[in-house]
Amino acid sequence: MKMKGRKAPGLGSNSRYSSLSLFLSFSLCFFLLACGGGKRPPAPVRTGGGGVPSLPTPDRSPVRVDQAPGIRVLLKASFGSAALEGSDLPLLQRIQAEGGKITLRDGRGLVLRSGSGFRLQPLRGSMLRLDGVPYQGVIEVFVNPLGTPVIVNELSLETYLQGVIPNELSSTGGVQLEALKALTIAARSFAFYSLGQNARRGFDVYSDNRSQVYRGTSSQQPLSNQAIDQTRGTIATYQNKPIVAFYSSTCGGLTEGYQAAFQGAHIPYLEGGAACPDSASPNSTWEEHIQVSRIQKNLDRLAGVGRLRKLVSLRKGQWGRTVEMRFVGDRGEKVLKGLDIRSALGLKSIWILALEPHHDNSGYIVEIHARGRGWGHGVGLCQTGTVELARQGWSFERILKHYYKGIDLTRRW
């Protein structure tokens, strides 16, 4: 039976990239072009508002274009099996990754096709559903140049935002439209900056908080879609170049600079120090009792000092957060910096007001009583603060320029 599915980029003569397929034998560069969605620039963790990219400035033309760029979102990696519905391959029920190959199977488990990858289109008038979750656009499944099987959703950047904004800031509970517009432009800017960031892995962004939380069409909300439509193509720029628009949940009253939190280069528009009215959040101030046994794996991974004996705060940043801390254990000591401190201790943020260790009879720390402010890295826009500023009558433009110093808003498509 002849199948309609097209192979993923560079993986067969039916590929839309077949004219470049010869390069795959000689260079990884071909894959960067084939699997990056047709737009190539550089490398947080949004992390809590993002993954942590390295930050060379993307070399993108400032010229306005007619259409939104495409974006490639990682849905699954290193997977064994996934269910797919709604494909224009009527018999296709399951995708399997085995032995360095991708296998398409029908409902009885019979092999329909096997190869290094496939590009799967939705049935006319339908949407693809991966493990029950609906997605617009197309889905590509392939083994990337690093040998990892991945499933990627390729779609318009504007459509992608419809599956992001409600998961980053719900439009329920009286959230103002101006707040959603501000977050939409931040999220669009982050996504636009990230195009090509993970090209050699075959995608642009993750679907979790390593980039931005994306859940397909199932979480779309009318008000957030309105915010996307009314700001279409608008991104934040600094000196006519797109910014990496970090954002986080709650900054605890004052934003942090990129350099202190991520231990990276100074970024003028992410200097920190923006006052933020987020006291309504339960995470504006916090208090936690942390069992060391619960965080031991993170301690081993990041500090590697064995059983913990002492914690010494070495340096505070300009805006009050702890940016260097010494970890002392029975296998040595190590200084951690920036967000590694938060990850190692399992804290909500690195804005630590007090840290009180409790030791057992042998001198090992078994519990840590911590007090602090904020939730997330605190860099860039604060989501909770944005909601309050919108309630106070601030426009989305004023909000964005409050959190990102010296920026402009630019319509690109």
The DSSP result for 162-184, as a single string, is HTTHHHHS-S-SS--HHHHHHHH
Name the domain count of the chain.
Answer: 3
- Whether the predicted pLDDT of 369 surpasses 60: yes
Domain for residue 100, yes or no? yes
Say if residue 247 is in the same domain as residue 272: yes
pLDDT of residue 63: 62
- The model carries a pTM of 0.84
- Whether the predicted pLDDT of 13 surpasses 50: no
Domain for residue 3, yes or no? no
Domain for residue 185, yes or no? no
Question: Nearest Cα to 407, choosing from 189, 148, 158?
Answer: 189
Work out the pLDDT band at 175, boundaries 50, 70, 90: confident
Distance separating alpha carbons of residues 224 and 378, to the nearest angstrom: 23
Determine the 3-state secondary structure of 31 from DSSP: helix
Domain for residue 335, yes or no? yes
Question: Nearest Cα to 208, choosing from 169, 247, 167, 166?
Answer: 167
pLDDT of residue 92: 96
DSSP 187-206: HHHHHHHHTTTTGGGT-SEE
Say if residue 33 is in the same domain as residue 79: yes
Work out the pLDDT band at 125, boundaries 50, 70, 90: confident
Q: Which burial class, exposed, middle or buried, applies to 32 when counting CB atoms under 10 A from its CB (0-12, 13-18, 19+)?
A: middle
- What integer is the mean pLDDT of 101-113? 96
pLDDT, averaged across the chain: 87
- Whether the predicted pLDDT of 123 surpasses 50: yes
Say if residue 112 is in the same domain as residue 148: yes
Distance separating alpha carbons of residues 279 and 276, to the nearest angstrom: 8
Question: Nearest Cα to 194, choosing from 214, 182, 209, 211?
Answer: 211
- Whether the predicted pLDDT of 2 surpasses 90: no
Say if residue 229 is in the same domain as residue 262: yes
Work out the pLDDT band at 58, boundaries 50, 70, 90: low
- Whether the predicted pLDDT of 302 surpasses 70: yes
pLDDT of residue 172: 76
- 50-54, 116-120, 235-239, 314-318: which range is least confident on average? 50-54
| Identity of the residue numbered 164 | V
Domain final residue, candidates 151, 181, 206: 206
Say if residue 85 is in the same domain as residue 113: yes
**How far, CA to CA in Å, does 165 sit from each of 189, 203, 359?**
13, 20, 44
- List, in sequence order, the alpha helices (H) in 98-142: none
Q: If phi over 0 gives left and psi between -120 and 50 gives alpha, with beta otherwise, what is residue 301?
A: alpha
CA 60 vs. chain centroid, Å, equals 21
Stronger pLDDT, 46 or 76, i.e. the higher one: 76
Domain for residue 5, yes or no? no
Say if residue 34 is in the same domain as residue 142: yes
Say if residue 131 is in the same domain as residue 58: yes
Say if residue 363 is in the same domain as residue 386: no
pLDDT of residue 401: 98
Say if residue 124 is in the same domain as residue 255: no
Say if residue 299 is in the same domain as residue 401: no
- What integer is the mean pLDDT of 38-45? 30
Domain for residue 187, yes or no? no
pLDDT of residue 59: 61
Domain for residue 14, yes or no? no
- 21-30, 58-67, 373-382: which range is least confident on average? 21-30
Say if residue 404 is in the same domain as residue 301: no
Q: What percent of the chain has pLDDT over 90?
A: 81
Say if residue 348 is in the same domain as residue 400: no
pLDDT of residue 62: 63
Domain for residue 382, yes or no? yes
- Domain span at 325: 285-373
- What integer is the mean pLDDT of 291-306? 97
